[in-house]
Structure 1
Amino acid sequence: MAKFTKPEKSWALYDWGSSAYSIIITTAVFPLFYKAAATDAGVGLADSTAYLSYTIAIFTFILAMLGPLLGTIADYEGMKKKFFTVFFVLGTVSTAMLAFVPEGQWLWLLICYVFAALGATGANLFYDAFIVDVTTEKRMNRVSAFGYGLGYIGSTIPFALAILIILLAQNEILPLSVTNASRLAFLITAAWWILFSIPLFRHVKQKHFIKREASPVVQSFRRLSKTIREIRQYRALFLFLIAYFFYIDGVGTIISLSTAYGTDLGLSATSLLIVLFATQVVAAPFAILYGKLADRFTGKKMLYVGICVYIIVCVYAVFIETIMDFWILAMLVATSQGGIQALSRSYFGKLVPKQNANEFFGFYNIFGKFAAITGPLLVGITSQITGNSSLGVLSLVVLFIIGLVVLIFVPEPTPHDPVDEVAAE
């Protein structure tokens, strides 16, 4: 921590807080809670997984449509943090509301999940864009990986607490039902997320911006239209986005559907929670390692490594039969999950014009979110047609291969920082 400035640490601590949402809501407790509610209502396993996939596709489509425009408006002085705050409040409040959905109402759970996910992913759009304000290009790999590393470490604390409460309730040691223990986990998630967002609100400021002008919304549409018309000037940037579109699609789909997939394989909720907890612990040092190796071998080469690991994951998923197989799969994911996300963010951050960072991170968002529509739909449709979730996961291989091939043609970022100074207060 001593190697990082106060803005860098404050920015990274948001990942420490918000990652509780990623593991408890996106990956672990909520999917199990939802699957149980859907099963109690008579919804089949494959169908409930498909409905969750379609829900993910819906909210990602909404944000993908809004991302570039909101990002363009947020490039104006003082607007980035305002937009971040709106989505932050939507995400934290909706996450807390999951605890109050009546038992067995699986459809209402999905509706609340849509708003929670909109808030979380929307806030992340502007959080990611803040990376150009808190550090220099030369330090971006390390700072981005540091954020993901902190996120994995920080998320294990509320996740461990949630697992403990659920297990104690399951064994009737606590006077709670397993359902109410899961509800408490949702409240813990919201509280943890809010608490560790305070440093960002206090110490992170928008340093790169465009001066405000009359009719900002109209002007933002014009700037966005101009960027699209002049896309050839940003060949490297948009070529990277095409590669990112495909490979991050597979990454996000595996993260969001891993628990539902494990449930379909017949793995117990307790086993799944323990595996996912271990995944978070292992992912933390590997995310930081990716950042260090990227400084030595370049971020692009480390992205190749991450994509290849995920291809192996998709193929291996077909052969899963036991909890040990799932452990092996989870540990493979843990080695590359944080690294590929962190280096994608820093690689893109080096490519974008700093004063238009929000606009371009809006495109980063739209490519990522549209990708997140394709993957879940692919898995959902394949699972329903074949009646086999494993084949749905295998279908993601084609996305990773396309992403890898396109990434080969993306040039390395050209340094823009005149000196290697850290943006300190």
Structure 2
Amino acid sequence: MKLNKEQWSWVFYDWANSGYGIIVTTAVLPIYFKGVAESSGVAAANATAYWGYANSFGTLLVAILAPFLGALADYQGYKKRLLTGFASLGMVMTLGLALLPSSQWQWLLFIYVLSILGYSGGNLFYDSFLTDVSDDRQMDRLSSVGYGFGYLGGVIAFLLFMVLEFTNGFGRLSSLAVARWGFVLAAVWWLIFYIPFQRHVHQRHALAATAAPLRQSWHRVWQTILQLRQHKYLAWFLVAYFCYIDGVDTIFTMATSIGLDIGINSTTLIMVLLVVQLVAFPFSIFYGWLAGKTSTRTGILVAIVVYLLICMDALNLKSTMDFWILAVLVGTSQGGIQALSRSYFGRLVPKQRSSEFFGFYNILGKFSAVLGPILVGVVTQMTGQSRIGAASLSILFVLGLIIFLMIPRTAMDKS
């Protein structure tokens, strides 16, 4: 599949915010936060739990707003405007992380929650643009390429950060200052690579403009809820997605904190995360190829099974080598399950109302991400062992697998 300029520009938004995903959410801020919190007298297990609760609260805000924002974005001219607004919020709040005093761990979590709102809100509109830049035949490959290049962009941004990390800012920065410059790097990376999207990507499918878009959006959301049974396969897919994406997002957001709890040092964690990103790049594209050779359904089932095995093996998570093995397994399927879920859903939705329906897709994904970190946090505090908290996520993958298997193979033909 050969991508045109508009499709490449769409792909590069995933590249753009990938710096935030790996530097802020995964690699640097969790370690930075735990160091700040523990230096203020917060116990390690509690710091891990607070990190989970902050992720849950941030995604809850997006989940509450997602259906309404999606419905609003379906009107001509609104989708890109809303994406720009939320992306700008994410960029500014990411810069804000660099400006806070290191002793203010509570404010650090607050600014982080706002950055999640910008990042996740922007991704809602970015995902729904998939129906504007591709047709049904292209969706698996384009969605997979988007995730794949997103991981590659994250690797490059991460390598730039590692230059600062291992040289201590060329001998001029403390470890805290290096972390802060990492936040600046993530924000600038996001801004620069958003420019192609802003210039070349356009909303193709839209509803006619209305004099009262806010009121009409609320009305449409309510009507869609009442009529959701008319889209029964779409509704069942959302339930399955709610279950399995919970585990995917939770593993991503909690991995660094769990690694620290079993005694892995921050330098090793950074190397592990870099390898995961490198593995995810080709495997994301591989899942698009697999879906083309078999089906989107098969690709999703394979990824769910891989994640189920990861959770079950987490009970044996005791050493650095165990963590390496599980991390590489995550890298093989993290991008694939997200990419194929997005394209599977994109085929099911009415194209002119794609943002509204992706709002429901987003709300279920975000609500699942609210429950997952809380589950890990509670189980970790009850048992005192992060690996048991991680293993508890296997329940969600089993539920997702069972429900997805109940959806007939012909669901997309009947939607």
- State the TM bucket, normalised to the shorter chain: over 0.9
- Partner Cα distance (2:170, 2:76) in 1: 54
Q: Does 2:388 align with 1:398?
A: no
What SS class does the counterpart of residue 205 from structure 2 fall into? coil
What corresponds to 1:7 in structure 2? 6
**Structure 2 counterpart of 1:414, which letter?**
M
- Partner Cα distance (2:91, 2:170) in 1: 29
Q: Does 2:20 align with 1:30?
A: no
- Partner Cα distance (2:233, 2:378) in 1: 33
Alignment RMSD (CA, Å) = 1.3
What corresponds to 2:89 in structure 1? 90
What corresponds to 1:263 in structure 2? 260
What corresponds to 1:385 in structure 2? 382
- Partner Cα distance (1:44, 1:317) in 2: 23
- Shift in Å, 1:415: 5.7
- 1:88 to 1:146, Cα distance in 2 relative to 1, 3 A: same
Instruction: Judge conservation of contact 1:94–1:116 (CA < 8 Å) in 2.
Output: yes
Matches within 5 A, 1:136-285: 136-169=135-168, 174-285=171-282
What SS class does the counterpart of residue 414 from structure 1 fall into? helix
Instruction: Judge conservation of contact 2:129–2:203 (CA < 8 Å) in 1.
Output: yes
Residues 104-139 of structure 1 show CA distances to partners (whole Å, capped at 9, x for unaligned) of 221111011001110000000000000000011100
What corresponds to 1:126 in structure 2? 125
- Shift in Å, 1:414: 3.1
Instruction: Judge conservation of contact 1:350–1:415 (CA < 8 Å) in 2.
Output: no
Q: Does 2:304 align with 1:327?
A: no
What SS class does the counterpart of residue 318 from structure 2 fall into? coil
Give the length in aligned residue pairs: 414
- Partner Cα distance (2:149, 2:411) in 1: 26
- Partner Cα distance (1:158, 1:61) in 2: 28
- Partner Cα distance (2:279, 2:270) in 1: 14
- Partner Cα distance (1:79, 1:202) in 2: 15
**Structure 1 counterpart of 2:32, which letter?**
F
Q: Does 2:364 align with 1:367?
A: yes
What corresponds to 1:80 in structure 2? 79
- Partner Cα distance (1:302, 1:344) in 2: 9
The two structures have a TM-score, normalised by structure 1, of 0.95
Instruction: Judge conservation of contact 1:134–1:204 (CA < 8 Å) in 2.
Output: yes
- Partner Cα distance (1:320, 1:221) in 2: 47
Instruction: Judge conservation of contact 1:137–1:415 (CA < 8 Å) in 2.
Output: no
- Shift in Å, 1:413: 4.7
- Shift in Å, 1:71: 0.6
**Structure 1 counterpart of 2:283, which letter?**
F
**Structure 2 counterpart of 1:372, which letter?**
A
- 1:400 to 1:105, Cα distance in 2 relative to 1, 3 A: same
- Partner Cα distance (2:229, 2:309) in 1: 35
- Partner Cα distance (1:211, 1:86) in 2: 22
- Shift in Å, 1:214: 2.2
What corresponds to 1:21 in structure 2? 20
What corresponds to 1:414 in structure 2? 412
Indicate which of 327, 344, 349 corresponds to 1:347. Answer: 344
Identity among equivalent pairs (%): 47
Tell me, which stretches of 5 or more residues in structure 1 are unaligned? 417-425
**Structure 2 counterpart of 1:178, which letter?**
S
Instruction: Judge conservation of contact 2:164–2:170 (CA < 8 Å) in 1.
Output: no
**Structure 2 counterpart of 1:3, which letter?**
K
**Structure 2 counterpart of 1:32, which letter?**
I
- Shift in Å, 1:195: 0.6
The two structures have a TM-score, normalised by structure 2, of 0.98
What SS class does the counterpart of residue 28 from structure 1 fall into? helix
Matches within 5 A, 1:35-74: 35-74=34-73
- Partner Cα distance (2:290, 2:170) in 1: 46
Residues 311-359 of structure 1 show CA distances to partners (whole Å, capped at 9, x for unaligned) of 1111212212221111111100000000000001000000000000010
- Partner Cα distance (2:162, 2:104) in 1: 23
Residues 172-202 of structure 1 show CA distances to partners (whole Å, capped at 9, x for unaligned) of 8512100000100110010111111111100
Instruction: Judge conservation of contact 1:307–1:400 (CA < 8 Å) in 2.
Output: yes
